[in-house]
Structure 1
Amino acid sequence: MSHTYERRVFAPVITPFKGSLAIDTPRFAAFCRWLIGQGAGLAVFGTNSEANSLSLAERRELLDYLIQDGIDPFRLLPGTGACALPDAIELTAHAAKLNCYGVLMLPPFYYTSISDDGLFRYYAEVIEAVGSSRLRVFLYHIPQFTGVPISHALIERLVAAYPRTVVGIKDSSGDWSNTETMLQRFPGFQIFPASEALLERALPLGAAGCISATANIQPGGIATLLHEWGTPGDAGRQARVSAIRAVAQRQPMIAALKHVVAHFTLDAAWRTVRPPLTCLGDAEGAALIAQLTALDFSMPAAERLSAVCRQPRDCAAAASAPAPGC
């Protein structure tokens, strides 16, 4: 197993909604450009993107929009896993046609106690149906949500069958022993922990970087940690990104991320989530911002993303306005 890659951070990009709960596509694209400018790749349609609250058509159209808007497809790692095999094939084929860096594929969920044989057949059917040499599949292990773990034996089997296609995995299990075992067992496989707090342990074992929810709010800090790993200051950089991660994950992650982005972009509309999710409460949101402020946290140039703050006098009102749908 041999793959060449650079360490990268991908953000499962949060999805902005209008008051009507339709996707705010221009706002989404602007935020994607900001993330890229801070050094992050775009794992659009991940868990924290509210991907499973988006339709297939919305995901296809949003991906098309990003490409048409000038986003480099090599920056894109869209989520294409789905319960229904035809849906997974459709989304994966679309991403491959656009020459995205790869796809991040959940296993089919809802049915539990699925065998490795069934999962192998699912991934194999997608790969064979897409039939593209440009396709790069990153498995997505998040059993606490899916109820369907991706075993080490399944990884080994998929890599043996599709060595140029199945090239990595995101481990969102939260189980360090699982991540550590994969890093030791599959050298050269692109293994991404789901938290930057694990990088100090994962990078020496060959981790490819991380795909982290909190890359939405601290992409630059994580990118710097990855790019400067092994140089003086590692401990301080690691401590800082870990502290920010710890604050954010004390609240429901999607609502917390959107609250932070709303605050620092001076754009309360960012707080909106699609049901059944709910926005962060005012008290929880204020506590979150206070805790981040105590860490001297900032999102460089984020205020330039505001769609509503046109004049300086409007900024305070924009930042504190109630979000549509909250």
Structure 2
Amino acid sequence: MLRAVSFLLFLLLPSLSFAQSCNFSISNLNFGAVDTLSGSQTNSTATININCTGLTLQRILICPNLGAGSGGSSSAAARQMLNGANLLNYQLYSDSARSVVWGSFSWPYPARSPAYALTLDALGSASGTITIYGAVQGGQSVVAPGTYLSTFSGGEAPFRYFYSLLSSDCTTAAGTPASPTFTVNATVAANCLVAVQNIDFGTKGVLSANSDATGGVSVTCTPGTTYTVSLNGGTTNSPPTARKMSKGTETVTYGLYKDAARSQPWGDATTPGSTVAGAGNGLVQQLTVYGRVPPQTTPSPGTYTDTVVVTLTY
């Protein structure tokens, strides 16, 4: 009986020592500051670090499944980071070209986990790294400023690994489970863009009556971002309704206004109450600049010009 017991222990102990074991750690994927008004994609990466032990010279197949994360996903193309009820779309990929979405056997979209194989050395150990490629898509101008986050842990990162000589199949839940944790984060900063449309009063003869024309200022600001638009006094630094277009030493007086009736001058901080304020919504907001050349002594013929500086403060 004693021999039988000894023989069974001899068979069992080596088999326990051959069981594979893998440890995973993942760096956080930080996109940093994201400019949602630029229209450009923002890229970043994270790294999976792997350490495995087990039967010498054997191949371990690793399936690093990634689900939607705590922010969820709106489609197969877009995972989401959250800031309260606000959403920022992004995606994770297994290739540097960011064309192959990194998925999981457990989420409802077609993309699956990439397969990664490690071969244990003569001491029964191996290590490696895998890069996760992330991208925040452009064209998200209506996203509000703030810090956005999605967490991967537990069922959102159901890694699997197992001995396999040939297989690269990561479409199932086969293997030993592991659940590393990491976060995806980004900061959307308050931002504004401005563009202008020039004012052309056209060709005039004698300046005996009002001559009106319009131009414009286009403002695009992140949602909720308050702004002020001011117009300086031109090259002669004149008051809002007495700016000067010049040709040499000769001038033509004109004014710029906030309203079609030309009753509200548009100036800068040197003329209190003359600036235009607003709040962004992520879309282009058109502000009309109303110009008027009042009746005045007509100077010699020629082209008269002025340059007005538009300042957007937010």
Q: Give the TM bin, normalised by the shorter chain.
A: under 0.3
- Bigger helix fraction: 1
Greater Rg by CA:
2
